[in-house]
Amino acid sequence: MWTNKMISSKILDYFGLYLKNSHHPPCITISSRKMSQKLNPNPTYDVIILGASGFTGKYVIREALKFLNIPSSPLKSLAIAGRNSSKLSHALQWAARSNPQPQIPILTADTTDPSSLRHLASQAKLILNCVGPFRLYGEPVVKACADSGCDYLDICGEPEFMERMEMKYHDKAVEMGSLIVSACGFDSIPAELGWMFNSRQWLPPAICNRIEGYISLESDKRIVGNLGTYESAVLSVANADKLQELRRSRPKRPRPVISGPPPHKGPMVHHLKEIGLWAVKLPSADATIVRRTLSCLAEAPRGLPGVNESTEQIERKEAFWSSIKPAHFGMKIASKSLLGVVHFIIVGWFIGHFGQTSIGRWLLLNFPSVFSLGYFRTKGPTEDEVASANFKMWFVGHGYSDGNLASQGNRKPDTEIITRVMGPEIGYSTTPIILVQCALVLLKERNNLPKGGVFPPGIVFGPTDLQDRLQQNGISFDVISKNAIN
């Protein structure tokens, strides 16, 4: 089945290296400017969840409440925010289930009211933004956080938004000490940590050349995405030219050096016998974000410097990054049946073609269930639909048993390593789990993380204990096989 992950960020061809211009310094930057002080060095709340009454937001509340004021958690104070206090109160009551409703402050803020967002950012160490589509509603929140020195995480899977925010606000975020990281949900933490996990299995003298990710969704019932996600997909198509224009306007950053020849393009649809799946190429936010992280590593092979790291922490970070080797990376969507892949192609065709014209977009936005073959509807999924779903993300790595073989002309890889990341339903279970765990890592390890700036999630959270935390909360990382291939 297809959920909000599948259409929102996977229709357009977002492949390509993450670029920079004169407004964006490299990932590792030594600035001559004195770091400005945060506007409020003693904020009232550790975390504020913005957009907490939305489809995903209420699940984020539920997940955050599990870690509020428990001895092992750095989350000691929490507030929720949005436009409608009544809806927020209902969302809080829903998230608390049968327990007495916790005394969580409810704050009013509107993405169309910059002053309300500035006030919100001044009260928090960290804002978790769940208000999408981000290309419509995200920038005012990022700006408020960058201006105030508040840290920011979101669940965005929209490359144009993320790259534009990096271009416009990186310098200000560095100056004010605001750490801004998008894609801290199913987009794109499983892909980021998943390729790193596969890369770490290639022990010397073996070396990886390419890693392909395969997203497979399973459910006893239909998974239904929400309308905001669907709108993001349609708007992505409508604004495709803006993404390309943005990338053309920015000088290229260094490419990572990858051992061996580039992979062949291959067929659009193929059968992966090793894991019993049919797959189709997936132009992907995940692939773009992984490449952004690889670009950062090309500039800073030892990772980004933290605010106030200990010598021991620096050594751990450098050891982690030394185990990660760059590889070609791509994503595909997979199904156990060829018919499932055909369904993906049909929905992608509808959005990709109808989204290019105003009348087509009107049809797509007014009849989402028709043009998504029932994958999207204006109402979110039921709790039973969420509980019955899960995902598997397979990573198939190809490389060489000895790195010296990679330099022998067009010699084909002779080794295959398959790993897997697996977890619950992607939009309303896995995404809240990941977002909250990223928040807990940030709160607990703030001194080990960059002072500020706009970064992809992998370069920030890769060397932390995020993978261990996810494994403790229902998202597994497994090595499936290591084989020699002809």
pLDDT for residue 18: 32
426 pLDDT higher than 70 = yes
Residue 475 included in any domain: yes
Domain boundary among the residues 179, 199, 222 is at 179
Q: How far apart are CA 387 and CA 23, in angstroms?
A: 45
**Residues 450, 306: Cα–Cα separation, whole Å:** 4
Q: In which domain, by residue range, is 80 found?
A: 43-179
pLDDT for the residue numbered 223: 66
Is the predicted pLDDT of residue 1 greater than 70, yes or no? no
In this prediction, residues 356-375 reach a mean pLDDT of 88
Mean pLDDT on 403-412 = 86
Q: Please report how many Cα atoms fall inside a 13 Å half-sphere around the Cα of residue 403, on the Cβ side.
A: 11
Mean pLDDT in residue range 276-289: 88
High-pLDDT (> 90) share of the chain, %: 63
Statement to judge: residues 191 and 122 lie in one domain: no
Q: Is the pTM of this model over 0.85?
A: yes
The pLDDT assigned to 10 comes to 37
Domain finish residue from 138, 162, 179: 179
* Mean pLDDT, residues 275-293: 89
Query: For residues 373 and 371, what is the distance between their CA atoms, to the nearest angstrom?
Result: 5
Number of domains making up the chain: 2
At 248, the pLDDT band (50, 70, 90 cuts) reads confident
The answer on 380 and 344 residing in a single domain is: yes
Distance (Å, rounded) from C-alpha 284 to C-alpha 296? Answer: 19
Mean pLDDT of 136-152: 97
Considering the domain boundaries, does residue 26 fall inside one? Answer: no
When pLDDT is cut at 50, 70 and 90, the band that residue 7 belongs to is very low
pLDDT attached to residue 255? 83
Total residues belonging to the chain: 486
Does residue 175 share a domain with residue 191? Answer: no
Looking at residue 27, what is its pLDDT? 63
**Whole-number pLDDT of residue 33:** 36
pLDDT tens-place string over residues 100-127: 778 899 999 999 999 999 999 999 999 9
Are 148 and 277 part of one and the same domain? no
Over the stretch 177-219, which tens digit does the pLDDT of each residue have? Answer: 999 999 999 988 999 999 999 999 999 999 999 999 999 988 8
| 9 in any annotated domain | no
Of the three residues 131, 151, 179, the one that is the final residue of a domain is 179
The residues, any chain, with a CB within 8 Å of residue 332's CB and separated by 6 or more, are 212, 213, 214, 215, 279, 280, 281, 282
Mean of pLDDT values over 84-95: 95
91: CATH: 3.40.50.720
Q: What is the 3-state secondary structure (H, E, C) of the chain?
A: CCCHHHHHCCCCCCCCCCECCCCCCCCCCCCCCCCCCCCCCCCCEEEEEECCCCHHHHHHHHHHHCCCCCCCCCCCCEEEEECCHHHHHHHHHHHCCCCCCCCCCEEECCCCCHHHHHHHHHCEEEEEECCCCHHHHCHHHHHHHHHHCCEEEECCCCHHHHHHHHHHHHHHHHHHCCEEECCCECCEHHHHHHHHHHHCCCCCCCEEEEEEEEEEEEECCCCCECHHHHHHHHHHHHCHHHHHHHHHCCCECCCCCCCCCCCCCCCCEEEECCCCEEEEECCCHHHHHHHHHHHHHHHCCCCCCCCCCCHHHHHHHHHHHHCCCCCEEEEEEEECCHHHHHHHHHHHHHHHHHCCCHHHHHHHHHCHHHHCCCCECCCCCCHHHHHCEEEEEEEEEEEECCHHHHHCCCCCCCEEEEEEEEEECHHHHHHHHHHHHHHHHHHHCHHHCCCCEEECHHHHHCCCCHHHHHHCCCCEEEEEEEEECC
List the one residue out of 460, 370, 369, 470 whose CA is nearest residue 429.
470
Examine the pLDDT at 249 and tell me if it is beyond 60.
yes
pLDDT single digits (tens) 8-54? 333 333 323 333 333 344 565 443 334 456 666 788 999 999 999 99
CB atoms within 10 A of CB 267: 10
DSSP bridge pairs for 411: none
Sign of CA dihedral 381, 332, 203, 442: negative
Q: Give the mean model confidence (pLDDT) for residues 325-332.
A: 94
Given a cut of 60, is residue 6 above it in pLDDT? no
Does residue 228 sit in the same domain as residue 169? no
Same domain, yes or no: 278 and 374 = yes
Q: Is residue 31 part of a domain?
A: no
Query: What is the pLDDT, as a whole number, of residue 280?
Result: 92
Contacts of 383 (CB under 8 A, 6+ apart): none
- Amino acid letter, 347: V
Does the pLDDT value for residue 339 go beyond 80?
yes
Identify the weakest region by mean pLDDT among 115-119, 338-342, 371-375.
371-375
Based on the fold, state whether residues 192 and 258 are members of the same structural domain: yes
Tell me the pairing of strands 389-400 and 415-424.
antiparallel
User: Which residue from 481, 477, 417 is spatially nearest to 190, judged by alpha carbons?
Assistant: 477
Beta strand pairing call for 179-181 and 453-455: parallel
In a domain, 127, yes or no: yes
Please indicate, yes or no, if residue 164 is contained in any of the structural domains.
yes
Residues 152, 201, single domain; the answer is no
pLDDT tens-digit profile of 211-224? 999 999 888 877 66
Assigned domain for 412 exists: yes
Residues 318 and 255 in one domain: yes
Same domain? 269 vs 122: no
Same domain, 173 and 316: no
Residue with the bigger pLDDT between 382 and 395: it is 395
- 32 is a domain residue: no
Q: What is the mean pLDDT of the chain?
A: 87
Kindly state whether residues 267 and 406 are assigned to the same domain: yes
- Average pLDDT, stretch 56-81? 96
